[in-house]
Amino acid sequence: MSTTGRTALVTGASAGIGASFAHHLAAKNYDVILVARRASRLHELASDLRSRYGVRAEVVAADLSAPEGPTTVVDRATELGIPVDVLINNAGLSSSTKFSATPWNAVAAELQLMVTSVTELTHLVTPGMKDRRWGRIVNLSSLAALSPPGEGLLYTGIKTYVLNMSQSLDMELKPFGINVTALCPGFTHSEFHDVMGTRDAADRLPRFMWQQPEDVVAEGWAAVMAGKPVCTPGIVNKISAAAMRPIPQRIQYILGRTFNPFK
């Protein structure tokens, strides 16, 4: 068991930002529950984390684009007797075809994975965090949430939902010792663009626009531990976000908390 006595559940843990979060947290002596569809990759990662950091690493192969995905994951954690103290909602994808040309089952899977499952997993683990008076939740949004919407794509709208939802939950849960952060990376070296089928276009972008997943993770984790509701990692992304949003995110957060007519 880890010296922290706490466990992090990481979705989309088989590669990219998810795998980097798993390494980052294991290095800080958090036990980890690794979630993704590719069981073989998860087992390889779990073995590496155990040998390298001496932590407990459990594998849950689950498809979070299916409606039963979130309950499958949390039920398995309960069976293992592991409370979830940290939730990293990282699993994601984006359609490479426009909305009207995408079959509905693919659209529904995208929404299930990045809207419903993110929200449901958060809802399922929050009561335990409240009881223990401690929790950390990182929801992967995107620099796209701070950008103009892309024609025919749901990705920007989905990530905007994640951004706004995370800030709202952070307002609600902070009094219980729970910090929620929307992590908004820009272009990050991972398999994301291979899955989308946009690798050639991505490779044409200037190198200075790209970040390594380890750098994104380090800045995101520091942000949630510091209680920052929004983190845009990297100086280039920060400049881009500032140019696209006339009102800074921090001020929007304060306004949203202060002038809530439904309080």
User: pTM of this prediction?
Assistant: 0.87
Convert 120-131 to b/e letters by CB count within 10 Å (16 or more is b): bbbebbbeebee
- The catalytic residues are 155, 159
DSSP track, 75-126: HHHHHTT----EEEE------SS-GGGS-HHHHHHHHIIIIIHHHHHHHHHH
Q: At what angle do helices 155-173 and 117-132 cross, to 10 degrees?
A: 10
All structural domains of the chain with their residue ranges: 7-258
Domain 7-258 has CATH 1.10.510.10: no
For the chain, how big is the Rg over CA atoms in Å?
18
Question: What's the CA gap between 92 and 94, in Å, rounded?
Answer: 7
| Per-residue pLDDT of the chain in tens (263 residues, 90 and over written 9) | 456 699 999 999 999 999 999 999 999 999 999 999 999 999 999 999 999 999 999 999 999 999 999 999 999 999 999 999 999 999 998 777 889 999 999 999 999 999 999 999 999 999 999 999 999 999 999 998 888 777 778 998 999 999 999 999 999 999 999 999 999 998 886 655 455 554 455 566 566 566 799 999 999 999 999 999 999 988 888 888 877 777 776 777 776 677 655 45
Give, as one character, the DSSP assignment of residue 146: G
Residue 218, both tokens: 């380090």
Residue 66, both tokens: 């299916």
Residue found under tokens 């400049």:
239
Distance from the first to the final alpha carbon of the chain: 42
pLDDT tens sequence across 144-201? 888 877 777 899 899 999 999 999 999 999 999 999 999 999 888 665 545 555 445 5
pLDDT tens sequence across 246-261? 777 677 777 667 765 5
Question: What's the CA gap between 126 and 178, in Å, rounded?
Answer: 9
